[in-house]
Chains A and B, each alone.
Chain A
Amino acid sequence: MTDTLDPRTGGPTGPRPIIESTVSSQEQMRYIGQQAADARLNVEIETEGMTLNMGPQHPATHGTLRLVAKLDGEQVVSAEPIMGYMHRGYEKLTEVRTYPQVTTLVNRIDWLGSFANEVPFILAAEQLMEIEAPPRAKWIRTILFELSRISNIALFLGDMGVQLGAVTPVFLAFRDREFVLNQVEAVTGGRFHPNFDRIGGLKDDLPAGWIEETKAVMVKMRAFCDELETLLMGNEIFQARCRGIGVIPPAVAQEYGLSGANLRASGVDWDMRRDNNYGMAYDECDWKVWTHPDGDSYARYWVRLQETREATYIVDQLLDSMPSGPIMAKVPRIIKVPAGEAYVATENPLGAMGYYIVSQGELTPFRVKIRSASFSNMSVSPWVLKGVFVPDIITILASLYFILGDIDR
């Protein structure tokens, strides 16, 4: 065993030694010291930073988000998302649509959980009109709301695996999500854009046999959650790539307006379904808000998975306790919303989504401010991406879970 080290590699010269027998601990320390010295040298050399452009067409961006990251070696010095490739101007368009027509537009904001987009708008309009939907409509609304959560988050649960190189989960997600979408389609006629919520109630009642079918689907979705819990969350590589990556402390999360699972994964126990349950039926069932203290990518995945499973229990309970009765309150044929302002937000799949409606007593809203969850959730990305390594960008973006339509509106 020679004492000299190869100046090029920093390792021992000659034929590769067998580690246990030949490398003494002293030599090993010297080797590590040499590596560290090399690393310091690399830092001290003034290198020109590299700018990495991800997107607008990038598989990790769920649409057309562009990310410009300035790198130093493998490390991100600063990263900034550039949006607007999908800005559709919904706030302006709502000013020339009547209230019932607005739901068609807002369906397309978060296109994976589209029914959930309609609900806060309808609730805000109902609040201004002093109308309350009958109980059965509230129940069905809540069920469809949770179904869109399940179908939306199920895709996240699989997609996160794909971003990290595990291809199987996404096939499971697409397979099982389809069962939920079938149920949504059976009621509303649309898989992605139901346009089913109406001021004062719902367009239609449930079809025959739907309750039993949905219960069977909920069993399947619970099995899906279990499967992913063992397949992906138990995976060592998955944990290594997620644990401790992209930690967002609770104070930062609140300052940036994070909401939904992103906020709960930072340990903030706040769910609008429990704390600010306006016009929905969540009080009628027994469920739990899941939080995780870590605030890292793994916590965000964990919280979403628990929430999906919890949502299936909410749906089950609501299906059991469904009241009978009308599905539509008495609403004038031509809807004119009285003058006033109302803000209603709900706990959408992606987080808090709200509509601030300014009405001046016309057929159309005077101004609608759409508060979408992904916009605020992504606004933290320049903060959280600073200092991470390039492969972790993907992990963090995937775990923050945004839908481009929800950012750009």
Chain B
Amino acid sequence: MTDLASVPLPPRRSALATLLRAFNANKIAWVGLVIIALLIFAAAFAPLLAPYDPLEQDVLDRLKPPTWDHLLGTDYYGRDTLSRLLYGARVSLVISVGATLIAMAAGAAIGMLAGWRGGRIDALIMQAMDMLLAFPSLILGLMLVAMLGPSMPNIIAAIALTSLPAFARIARAPTIALKGRDFIEAGRSLGFSDARILCGHILPNIFPEILVMGALWLANAIRTEASLAFIGLGLKPPTPTWGGMIREGFENILDSAWLAITPGVAVLVVVFAVNLLGDGLRDAIDPKLRNEA
């Protein structure tokens, strides 16, 4: 005699619920989310929020520490640090998000291709990816930008190239695992083209991992952009970039430390926030955490 009513069903969870659970378990991820939201807001509304024109110089008011007039002080040319910081946020966001998105798309495509085709192509692609990944990414980035010239597209391309191999690798393994599954076989026997299977069936399965990786590499991209600007390979002055501001501050560090440290803290806080978010996202998709108490 069966009593199926006594057999309990496992509870079903939507993606949003899983995400919320993970974020609640890892409460500090909310902090990351809030900071990033603030950053996007600040960057988007920089023209409205900035008290001064970021390019406006005032030689009488140079290298001042924070005052009521200039909340974060002024730089070597008398430009308001806060305003430059806000406009610099735009640069950082556009470049790092752009580079990460390109790396995600291109890297995932390459990884899926390698996993799907297998054989020589796979071996060749992965060797190239491994070499790229092993090479110090900052050196690679700075060589590319130095050789091609520090324009926005070039910088984005250079950072994208250094992030690309990670996405290729993370897209490849699940592709190989899924390749042999029945529903893929079924699709092929129905005559679906490779592209259709890859985009329609494999991509949705690997999307969460790629998203998490994207968050983590976004943090890297922001850091790399700032580093390049610090070395002198960022967007040319007078365009405000956080890295460039730190460089100027560094050159004048004996006169005013505020200039070097303030944008530095800004970069740090933003990278930290993105990392927190990425951590939270990763906990959300980690299968162990999903089933665990």
Is the A/B pair a real complex? no
